[in-house]
Amino acid sequence: MERTLIIVKPDAVQRGLTGEIIKRFEQRGLRIIGMKFMQVSQDLAEKHYDVHRERPFFNDLVSYIVSSPVVVMALEGTSAIQAARGTIGATNPAESGAGTIRGDFGLEIGRNLVHGSDSPENGEIEVANFFTDDELISGWNRNTDSWIFE
């Protein structure tokens, strides 16, 4: 089972899309193993976006993610990274297909509603940055799991 970090970003929280976004991941079959509503600190934002530190948009990313509360989720499932990213859509909402979160609700790249880990390795790192082991409930079974996972 892979893990991915999902962040329902400030624009989605402010627009009242949190429930719809959570619903889409659940309907896809991904299992929530941790979730919380939080205000991201400056330090955590800089750590999360460190890969972009040398890019001109780094400060804008950090300012944006700390501007309002977010919902963070740790999800797990078979090919969770690929499944989540397919549900999210392309980084630029204008290039996202209908039926994806960004394609259905986004217009601009700087307000693209949701973050999802881009690799299994980053999924593990990002989940650990936002959740302690005690905050995760992994491996619990839903009655529907046998209809989702082979």
CB burial readout 90-101, b (16+ within 10 A) else e: beebeebeeebb
Catalytic residue among 74, 87, 115, 127: 115
Residue 3 and residue 76 in contact, taking contact as beta carbons nearer than 8 Å: yes
Helix (H/G/I), strand (E/B), else coil: 36: strand
**Residues in contact with 52: Cβ distance below 8 Å, sequence separation at least 6, in sequence order:** 58, 61
Establish whether 48 is a catalytic residue: no
**Catalytic site positions:** 115
